[in-house]
């Protein structure tokens, strides 16, 4: 769980750094952050489920992916709120473009969050893995 928290903090700090360097100038910046955000949120909740709830593969996978989707949606609401509340201030004072794109960007971000979670589930929760060991 500590490793997941460390990586989530790293993803968040890189995201904040993107505000200052202008993440729109770096190709695939947003893609990588959303994918790994979904991946590491899934890792965090897998560690949580491992310690607290003993369920099967399908239930764990659905819970983990559901939590990642929920957090991704909350993140998009936060980006939208930040854009509406402080976006123009940040641009006028610091020339920082904040924070959200259009609806296509939001759907892409959520799809990448889900893809990161599914990648984690398939890589680390795969029930067939234990038979190959």
pLDDT tens profile 57-115: 888 899 999 999 999 999 999 888 888 888 888 888 877 777 777 888 899 999 999 99
Contact 45, 75 (CB under 8 A): no
Task: Supply the mean pLDDT for the chain.
Answer: 83
Q: Are 54 and 65 in contact (CB under 8 A)?
A: no
| Separation CA 92–CA 17 (nearest Å) | 18
Residue 106, helix vs strand vs coil: helix
Kindly tell me the sign of the dihedral angle through the C-alpha atoms of 74, 76, 88, 23.
Answer: positive
Is it the case that residue 129 has pLDDT exceeding 60?
no
């Amino acid at each position: 769980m500590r490793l997941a928290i460390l990586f989530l903090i790293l993803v968040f700090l890189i995201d904040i750094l993107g505000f200052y360097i202008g993440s729109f100038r770096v190709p695939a910046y947003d893609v990588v952050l959303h994918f790994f955000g979904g991946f590491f949120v899934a890792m965090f909740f897998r560690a949580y489920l491992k310690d607290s709830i003993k369920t099967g593969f399908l239930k764990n996978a659905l819970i983990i992916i559901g939590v990642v989707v929920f957090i991704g949606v909350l993140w998009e609401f936060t980006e939208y709120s930040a854009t509406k509340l402080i976006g123009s201030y940040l641009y006028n004072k610091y020339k920082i473009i904040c924070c959200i794109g259009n609806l296509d960007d939001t759907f892409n971000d959520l799809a990448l969050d889900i893809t990161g979670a599914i990648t984690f589930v398939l890589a680390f929760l795969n029930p067939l893995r234990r038979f190959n060991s």
